[in-house]
């Protein structure tokens, strides 16, 4: 290979790396480049990659309600609920988390918008308030559309936003406690949007509340995956994440056991209500997750956390939909 060829290959590799870094920047993922445009910076703070579970949770809730009808009106209302749960309230959650984590990010992810100085503190505070007020306003509008005597969706939006605040902000800062913080995060990603979708098209009941809170224990496992990228900074600042408390290897096993066991528990519940076909599908969806856990995550959770999430989580979220459809058809 000539020197010219080597230079061409190097240029191609650098271009690919630059494009990948820019994509991670827009999604708010680990390994992002520094954004320059203020709207790109704001979007990076909101971490669009994290909206997906919340949007999907609304879909699962609508499915479990049994009241969703395939019509233009219901589709647009569902989109409004997804916009509230994803870009607005999850964007609020991620922005406020970055605001209170700016010292940790300066160690772990110095390219993040706040520690890098790409956005000012007043601009961040304005973004937090706009996203919060916008999310609660849409929740109230959805309550009006659904004809709720009690504003269920507004209360869920306010309650979820409060949990997000105490998760990130002192003096409580739930994320300092590996168990409590990760469960708060897991339930916010599974239970809260599920309740919103179910309440929007049906009547929220205790069966759904309890089942999704149990299912959120699998969400706790998913939340632990996110702790591996910041283990160095957490240890430096004395935060008690599970990788810090138990070590990387033990925490990885805790993570995968939580994910697998509580999904299997949902499958057993479906068997108990005689939804055997749905239960079988749910059990089958756990198998590829176990495979990717062995291939990637358990072998090197620090290196393969993002690769594992990209490979395994689609099967987890499909399992959530299977549960929702089974309940909606029971």
pLDDT tens digit string along 212-246? 999 999 999 988 888 888 888 788 877 788 999 99
Q: Which of 180, 203, 226 is the last residue of a domain?
A: 203
178 and 266 fall within a common domain: no
Q: Which range of residues forms the domain containing residue 167?
A: 35-203
Helix (H, G, I), strand (E, B) or coil at 48: helix
Q: What does the pLDDT read at residue 1?
A: 55
183 and 128 fall within a common domain: yes
Q: CA–CA separation, 298 vs 195, rounded Å?
A: 32
Q: Which of 158, 182, 203 is the last residue of a domain?
A: 203
* Cβ–Cβ under 8 Å, residues 312 and 293: yes
Q: Which of 203, 236, 266 is the last residue of a domain?
A: 203
Q: Which residues of the chain have pLDDT under 70?
A: 1-35
312 and 215 fall within a common domain: yes
pTM: 0.87
Q: CA of 274: how far to CAs of 16, 39, 327, 330, in Å?
A: 50, 50, 11, 9
Number of structural domains the chain divides into: 2
Q: Tell me, yes or no, whether 3 lies in a domain.
A: no
181 and 42 fall within a common domain: yes
Q: Which residues pair with 240 in a beta bridge?
A: 177
Q: CA–CA separation, 23 vs 167, rounded Å?
A: 28
Question: What are φ and ψ of residue 69, in 5° steps?
Answer: -115, 135
168 and 298 fall within a common domain: no
Q: Give residue for tokens 């009690």.
A: 150
294 and 147 fall within a common domain: no
58 and 161 fall within a common domain: yes
Q: What does the pLDDT read at residue 24?
A: 52
Q: What does the pLDDT read at residue 33?
A: 56
């Amino acid at each position: 290979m000539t020197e010219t060829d080597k230079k061409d290959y190097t240029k191609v590799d650098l271009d690919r790396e630059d494009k990948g870094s820019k994509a991670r920047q827009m999604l708010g993922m680990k390994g992002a480049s520094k954004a320059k445009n203020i709207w790109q910076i704001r979007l990076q703070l909101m971490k669009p990659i994290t909206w997906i579970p919340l949007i999907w949770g609304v879909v699962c809730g609508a499915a479990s309600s049994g009241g969703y009808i395939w019509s233009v009106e219901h589709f647009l209302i569902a989109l409004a609920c997804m916009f509230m749960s994803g870009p607005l309230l999850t964007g609020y959650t991620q922005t406020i988390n970055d605001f209170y984590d700016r010292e940790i990010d300066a160690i772990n992810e110095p390219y993040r918008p706040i520690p890098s100085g790409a956005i000012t503190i007043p601009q961040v505070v304005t973004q937090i308030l706009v996203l919060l007020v916008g999310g609660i306003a849409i929740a109230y509008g959805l309550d009006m559309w659904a004809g709720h005597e009690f504003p269920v969706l507004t209360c869920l939006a306010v309650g979820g936003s409060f949990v997000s605040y105490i998760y990130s902000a002192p003096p409580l800062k739930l994320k300092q406690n590996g168990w409590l913080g990760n469960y708060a995060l897991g339930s916010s990603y599974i239970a809260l949007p599920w309740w919103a979708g179910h309440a929007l098209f049906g009547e929220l009941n205790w069966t759904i509340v309890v089942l999704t809170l149990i299912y959120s224990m699998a969400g706790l496992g998913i939340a632990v995956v996110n702790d591996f990228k910041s283990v160095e900074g957490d240890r430096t600042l004395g935060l008690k994440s599970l990788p810090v408390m138990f070590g990387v290897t033990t925490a990885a096993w805790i993570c995968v056991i939580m994910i697998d066991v509580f999904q299997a528990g949902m499958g057993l519940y479906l068997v108990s209500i005689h939804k055997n076909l749905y239960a079988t599908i749910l059990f089958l969806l756990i198998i590829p997750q176990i495979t990717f856990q062995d291939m990637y995550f358990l072998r090197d959770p620090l290196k393969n956390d993002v690769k594992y999430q990209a490979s395994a989580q689609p099967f987890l979220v499909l399992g959530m939909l299977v549960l929702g459809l089974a309940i909606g058809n029971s």
